[in-house]
Amino acid sequence: HAVVHHKFEVRRTSHTRLCTTKSMLTVNGQFPGPTIYARRGELVVVDVINRADANITIHWHGVKMPRYPWTDGADAVTQCPITPGKSFRQRVLLSDEEGTLFWHAHIDWARATVYGAIVILPPKTHTYPFPKPHAEFPILLGEWWNDDVQQVYEDFMASGAAPQLSDAFLVNGQPGDLYPCSKQDTLKLSVEPGKTYLIRMVNAMMNFITFFKIKDHNVTVVGMDGAYTKPLNTDHIAIIPGQTIDFLLEANQPPSRYYMAARVYAGAPLGRTYLPTTVIVEYVGNYTRPSSLLLPSFPEFDDFREASPPISATGSEALPTTTTPSKLLGSMNNVTMLLPKTQNILEAYYKGIRGVFTPDFPAMTPIIYNFTQGYKPENLAPAHFGTAVYMLDYNSEVEMVLQGTDYGYGDGIDHPMHLHGHSFYVVGTGYGNFDPNTDPPNFNLIDPPLGNMVAVPRNGWSAIRFKANNPGVWFMHCHFERHHSWGMMMAFIVKDGEAPNEKMLPPPPDMPRCEAPPAA
């Protein structure tokens, strides 16, 4: 494999937004962090060096890490954190991924400031499956807190209530010109009339699904979650936290300046309104620049149909054909997951350390931990705490129906669910309660979308299928950071297969050491 090397120094650096300066965790002093460029099939080696005062882990979101969960970066699931002063060499093999993914911190709420894009180009001998764009730009959506995010996280965990909301939405680290003190630094994208641009968009936000739109322009979606899609022409994009969407923008309108903007999808996000974050698309050439710009008109708030355009994978060869699935019905099946302290599930599994997890994630009990309006399963019981994992045999074909529930919150909310180590097909989505008799016949087994993220509609369900062909320990969780922190997560252990190339590889020599548990 060709090897791409990076050095990630995590430290505290000062940054100013919204007239406020604060010290925050960054990689190499950059916010957002550095973009990794590599080609499909290459090995990315990243030396992560912790020069900060906080523990850190780095996750390669959407990279499958074949047979090598060791450097997947999920705190307490695949490793203990890199403590201050320590470093960890993370090997990230790009196998079949091509397109855009991202990396982010995967401990507490550190990913609010520690994230960056991963751009995976075709192998040297290949080209894009669409005409070569004139230029390409990564666009990372994020959030900004004026306060220290670790403090926001700790207060949130201590309070038991909703977290303090962020103060701005960001594009590539900038709030845009609707926010105070932000006009100067508003991102500009210069385009030449008639040319086509590839935008690689990442939703690195902590807590929001967003709509994204460019005034007077349609775009063509060509990729999602590190894979190409059938081209889809649309006037807006909806993107959930953790998702990446690649699209082509053709500069085919009268030369002028146009807003490109992202606005929150939910109508009343936890009780406040957010200004859209903006970028200015500026045609080059001689014409009178308009002094004020109009925002595009977005879809209605909470419109899940507008939020789920019919994106399809380019092929579905690997679509599991399961008809009698090993079915896990429910969001997180009534288990509120506790992350092990001073240990991690992967090492406990590999070394046979007892007492870290239990292999009994309930497979059949329908639902709970989260929220379905008017839906109370018959065997409703209060959720309990545990570190339960679901064991899967190598190569099992898995179908999961994720049922959104609304146990106690009245209104419910969509959940952006994310799986590590695999991509999955989203074969069905519906409102209300999943019906095991009438819904499966309507599954899309022809051209479903493929990715590592699925939006489970509020008070509705989504069904996914994947083949458990990657031995290791793989996290699954809601990519709303507040839900994740509330325990809306679980883990799979995919067992080794028979053949030597179906087994997990051994750990690297510099795995971060787990602290000894406090003496009893």
Contact string (CB under 5 A) for Cu ion, positions 399-418, x = contact: ----------------x---
Could you say whether residue 478 binds Cu ion (CB under 5 A)?
A: yes
The least distance separating ligand C2O from the CB of residue 322, rounded to whole angstroms, comes to 25
| Lookup result for tokens 């859209």 | 276
Using the minimum distance from each CB to Cu ion, give the nearer residue, 11 or 415.
415
**Out of Cu ion, ligand C2O, none, which partner does residue 59 contact, by CB within 5 to 8 A per kind?**
ligand C2O
Closer CB to Cu ion, 329 or 488, in the complex: 488
Q: Which CB atom, from 242 or from 471, has the smaller least distance to ligand C2O?
A: 242
**Nearest distance from C-beta of residue 415 to Cu ion, angstroms:** 3
Cα atoms found within 13 Å of the Cα of residue 131, Cβ hemisphere only? 8
Q: What is the closest distance, in whole angstroms, from the C-beta atom of residue 242 to ligand C2O in the complex?
A: 5
The pair of three-digit structure tokens given for residue 77, joined into one six-digit string: 């699931």
Kindly tell me which of 10 and 402 has the beta carbon lying closer to Cu ion: 402
Smallest CA-to-CA distance from 316 within 474, 444, 127 is with 444
> Strands across the sheet with 135-144, in order?
168-171, 135-144, 196-203, 244-250, 219-224, 227-234
User: CB under 5 A: which stretch of 75-83, 225-233, 379-387, 483-491 binds Cu ion?
Assistant: 483-491
- The H-or-E segment that residue 7 falls in is strand 3-17
408 vs 475: CA distance, rounded Å: 26
Amino acid in position 238:
A
Task: Kindly determine how many residues on this chain lie close enough to bind Cu ion according to the rule CB under 5 A.
Answer: 4
Which of 17, 420 has the CB closer to Cu ion? 420
Q: C-beta of 110: minimal distance to ligand C2O in Å?
A: 12
What is the sign of the dihedral through the CA atoms of 97, 101, 103 and 106? negative
CA angle 428, 434, 438 (to 5 degrees): 80
Q: Residue 483: which of Cu ion, ligand C2O, none does it interact with, CB under 5 to 8 A by kind?
A: Cu ion
39 binds, among Cu ion, ligand C2O, none (CB under 5 to 8 A by kind): none
Q: Residue 115 forms beta bridges with which residues?
A: 104
- For 215, how many CA atoms within 13 A lie in the half-sphere containing its CB? 18
Distance, in Å, from the CA atom of 35 to the CA atom of 47, rounded to the nearest integer, reads 15
102 near Cu ion, judged by CB under 5 A? no
61 binds, among ligand C2O, Cu ion, none (CB under 5 to 8 A by kind): ligand C2O
Partner in contact with 106, chosen from ligand C2O, Cu ion, none, beta carbon below 5 to 8 Å by kind:
ligand C2O
Cβ 196 to ligand C2O shortest distance, Å = 29
Cα–Cα separations (whole angstroms), residue 375 to 303, 304, 311: 21, 19, 29
Give me the half-sphere count of Cα atoms (radius 13 Å) on the Cβ side of residue 147.
13
Q: Which stretch binds Cu ion (CB under 5 A): 177-185, 207-215, 432-440, 479-487?
A: 479-487
Candidates 118, 137, 128; CA nearest to 36 is 118
CB of 338: closest distance to Cu ion in angstroms?
A: 17
Neighbouring residues of 9: CB distance < 8 A, sequence distance ≥ 6: 27, 28, 29, 49, 51
Shorter beta-carbon distance to Cu ion: residue 254 or 408? 408
Element (H, E) at 484: helix 481-485
How many C-beta neighbours within 10 Å does residue 1 have?
10
Q: Could you say which of Cu ion, ligand C2O, none residue 213 binds, taking C-beta under 5 to 8 angstroms by partner kind?
A: none
By CB under 5 A, residue 483 contacts Cu ion = yes
Among residues 347 and 481, whose Cβ is nearest to ligand C2O?
481
The option from ligand C2O, Cu ion, none interacting with 74 (CB < 5 to 8 A, set by class) reads ligand C2O
| CA separation for the pair 234, 312 (Å, rounded) | 14
Minimum CB–partner distance for residue 444 and ligand C2O (Å): 25
Report the interface residues with ligand C2O, using CB under 6 A. Answer: 59, 61, 74, 104, 106, 242, 418, 420, 475, 477, 479
- Residue with Cβ nearer ligand C2O (106 or 483): 106
Q: For residues 8 and 480, which CB has a smaller minimum distance to Cu ion in the complex?
A: 480
**Residue nearest ligand C2O, Cβ-based:** 61
Minimum distance, C-beta of residue 167 to ligand C2O, in the bound complex (Å): 22
DSSP 297-322: PPPPTT-TTTTS----BS--TT----
The sign of the torsion formed by the CA atoms of 213, 214, 215, 216 equals negative
Say how far apart CA 242 and CA 484 lie, in whole Å: 12
**Binding partner at 120 among Cu ion, ligand C2O, none, C-beta below 5 to 8 Å by kind:** none
Q: Report, in Å, the least distance between residue 478 CB and Cu ion.
A: 3
CA gap 328, 231 in Å, rounded:
32
In the list ligand C2O, Cu ion, none, the entry touching 478 (Cβ below 5 to 8 angstroms by class) is: Cu ion
242 binds, among Cu ion, ligand C2O, none (CB under 5 to 8 A by kind): ligand C2O
Nearer to ligand C2O, 226 or 377 (CB): 226
- For ligand C2O, give the closer residue by CB, 113 or 459: 113
The torsion angle over the Cα atoms of residues 366, 367, 372 and 374, rounded to 10 degrees, is 40
Binding mask 299-338 for Cu ion (x = CB under 5 A): ----------------------------------------
Main-chain phi, psi angles of 111, to 5 degrees: -70, -10
Query: How far apart are the C-alpha atoms of 149 and 110, rounded to whole Å?
Result: 7
Site of interaction with Cu ion (CB under 5 A): 415, 478, 480, 483
